[in-house]
């Protein structure tokens, strides 16, 4: 079967917003450059300034130009190139012939800041640019002219370079960092709602999700979910009432039948009827136990697992020793205190021991181990539990492939009681063969 790919809503929002912002950003840059760049005027490429900066040196005699290959190529390409450099100490140096229009201005190069004069294409030799660079630890003012670039691509690159530190870079960082933060904060309420939905208990009459704290767009979905939960809760409680009432109604006829069977004279069919009636009584009691366990009025108290285990062992030993070789209790000498219902925990131990008696093949010993950490383990020496059955044997009325008598409610009841006590139950292979059911309960506060 082909797997269905469910895209993430957050991922889709992030991608959509980022793409939209990139489109808006490109459009804004294009519009800005359209107004900044005008092919009716000339510009000077940044590469000219870089070549000049690399060719300037400061010596004890003053500022000098050290001809290098890039500078020679620049002069060869632009015969009208002229440069005036100056520093704060009044030292100046010229390269090329300064036009008369800038001769007076060149005398003040050391006090002029970064600027540019753009000329019309027919007067490109008058395009002039002033830059201030840090060379050998000193600030040098560079006035350059006689070089003009009319390449539209170069103009775009230059204008983009001017915009990047102040406009493009902060905006890109904001898009990549702020957008995910905004989206994740907006979805925080949805994540909380999902956590609340995962923790809902259908057995509670007021199980629903809050509608006031969710975005307006999601409220109809939450309302529909609450309506479905209400219908499910009503059906759930109706089923529980039916099971509880049926179990209560069965107890009296079963008790009457037991009394009448006990008063009947001996007959070959009498023991079989008594066994069948006992099973029916067990099912009724297990159904009632499930209903008691789900009651909201359940109150826990401090229980000693060691004392409780000894009491159950003493009660079940007469019957157990007729169906196994030995019944062993391994427990600490000191009490092991847990919080719980004594009757419910007693049912856990009893059901696990009865399960071991039924499925232990009637051979070997059955052991009940109590740990100081609030654990219990019941082990038998029977055929064990198949791997494919270990997750399902705790489901109600699941009996696997066994031919042994039973109704598949005992282990389900055990699991429900253990869960209600905040514990867990697992099954695995016992050492030497058979199955071992382990129960871990939280210890009572000191």
pTM: 0.46
Is 200 part of a structural domain of the chain? no
Q: What is the dihedral of CA 387, 393, 398, 400, to 10 degrees?
A: 30
Answer yes or no: do 79 and 144 share one domain. Answer: yes
Is 328 part of a structural domain of the chain? yes
Answer yes or no: do 311 and 340 share one domain. Answer: yes
Contact (Cβ atoms closer than 8 angstroms) between residue 367 and residue 328: yes
Is 446 part of a structural domain of the chain? no
The CA-atom distances, in angstroms, between 149 and each of 78, 118, 394 are 11, 11, 83
CATH number at 74 reads 3.30.450
Answer yes or no: do 59 and 123 share one domain. Answer: yes
Tally of domains within the chain:
4
Answer yes or no: do 332 and 419 share one domain. Answer: yes
Answer yes or no: do 240 and 308 share one domain. Answer: no
The CA-atom distances, in angstroms, between 411 and each of 292, 321, 392 are 16, 22, 10
Answer yes or no: do 341 and 255 share one domain. Answer: no
pLDDT, residue 440, reads: 94
- Domain of 136 in residue numbering reads as 46-149
Q: What's the rounded Cα separation, in Å, for the pair 202 and 205?
A: 7
Is 341 part of a structural domain of the chain? yes
Is 116 part of a structural domain of the chain? yes
Q: pLDDT tens for the chain, 446 residues: list them.
A: 454 555 666 777 777 777 887 787 777 767 766 665 555 556 677 788 889 999 999 888 889 998 899 999 989 988 889 999 999 888 899 998 999 889 999 989 988 999 888 777 777 778 899 999 999 888 999 999 988 765 556 666 666 666 666 666 777 777 777 777 777 777 777 777 777 777 776 666 667 787 777 777 778 888 888 888 778 777 767 776 776 676 667 777 777 877 887 778 888 887 777 767 776 776 777 677 666 666 655 678 899 999 999 998 888 887 777 777 788 899 999 999 999 888 889 888 988 888 888 777 667 788 899 999 999 999 888 887 777 777 778 776 665 555 554 456 678 888 888 888 889 998 888 887 788 999 999 998 87
Is 197 part of a structural domain of the chain? no
Answer yes or no: do 414 and 304 share one domain. Answer: yes
Answer yes or no: do 14 and 129 share one domain. Answer: no
End of a domain among 122, 149, 176? 149
Is 202 part of a structural domain of the chain? no
Answer yes or no: do 417 and 307 share one domain. Answer: yes
Q: What's the rounded Cα separation, in Å, for the pair 274 and 257?
A: 9
End of a domain among 261, 290, 319? 290
Tokens of 328: 């062993």
Is 381 part of a structural domain of the chain? yes
CATH number at 379 reads 3.30.565.10
Answer yes or no: do 18 and 144 share one domain. Answer: no
Burial of 163: CB neighbours in 10 Å, binned 0-12, 13-18, 19+:
middle
The CA radius of gyration of the chain, in Å to the nearest whole number, is: 45
Answer yes or no: do 314 and 435 share one domain. Answer: yes
Answer yes or no: do 34 and 69 share one domain. Answer: no
């Amino acid at each position: 079967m082909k797997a269905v790919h469910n895209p993430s809503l957050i991922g889709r929002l992030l991608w959509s917003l980022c793409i939209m912002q990139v489109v808006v950003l490109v459009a804004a840059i294009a519009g800005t450059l359209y107004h900044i760049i005008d092919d009716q005027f000339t510009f000077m490429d940044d590469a000219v300034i870089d070549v000049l900066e690399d060719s300037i040196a400061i010596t004890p005699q003053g500022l000098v130009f050290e001809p290098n290959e890039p500078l020679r190529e620049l002069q060869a390409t632009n015969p009208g190139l002229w440069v005036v450099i100056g520093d704060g100490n009044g030292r100046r140096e010229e390269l090329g012939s300064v036009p008369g229009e800038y001769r007076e201005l060149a005398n003040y190069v050391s006090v002029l800041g970064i600027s540019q004069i753009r000329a019309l294409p027919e007067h490109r030799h008058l395009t002039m640019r002033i830059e201030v660079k840090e060379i050998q630890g000193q600030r040098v003012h560079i006035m350059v002219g006689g070089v003009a670039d009319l390449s539209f691509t170069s103009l775009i690159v230059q204008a983009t370079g001017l915009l990047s530190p102040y406009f493009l870079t902060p905006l890109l960082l904001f898009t990549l960092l702020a957008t995910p933060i905004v989206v994740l904060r907006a979805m925080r309420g949805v994540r909380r709602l999902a956590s609340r939905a995962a923790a809902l208990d259908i057995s509670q009459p007021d199980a629903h999700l809050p509608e006031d704290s969710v975005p307006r767009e999601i409220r109809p979905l939450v309302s529909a979910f609450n309506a479905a939960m209400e219908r499910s809760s009503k059906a759930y409680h109706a089923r529980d009432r039916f099971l509880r009432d049926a179990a209560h109604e069965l107890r009296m006829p079963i008790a009457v039948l037991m009394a009448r069977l006990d008063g009947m004279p001996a007959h070959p069919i009498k023991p079989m009827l008594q066994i069948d009636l006992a099973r029916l009584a067990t099912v009724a009691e297990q159904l009632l136990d499930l209903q008691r366990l789900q009651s909201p009025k359940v109150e826990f108290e401090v229980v000693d697992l060691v004392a409780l285990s000894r009491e159950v062992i003493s009660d079940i030993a007469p019957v157990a020793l007729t169906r196994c070789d030995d019944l062993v209790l391994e427990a600490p000498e000191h009490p092991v205190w847990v919080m719980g219902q004594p009757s419910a925990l007693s049912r856990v131990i009893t059901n696990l021991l009865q399960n071991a008696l039924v499925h232990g093949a009637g051979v070997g010993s059955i052991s009940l181990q109590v740990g100081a950490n609030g654990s219990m383990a019941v082990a038998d020496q029977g055929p064990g539990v198949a791997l494919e059955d270990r997750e399902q044997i705790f489901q109600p009325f699941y009996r696997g492939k066994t031919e042994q008598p039973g109704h598949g409610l005992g282990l389900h009841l055990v699991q429900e009681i253990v869960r209600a006590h905040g514990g867990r139950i697992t099954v695995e292979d016992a050492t030497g063969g058979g199955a071992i059911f382990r129960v871990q309960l939280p210890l009572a506060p000191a």
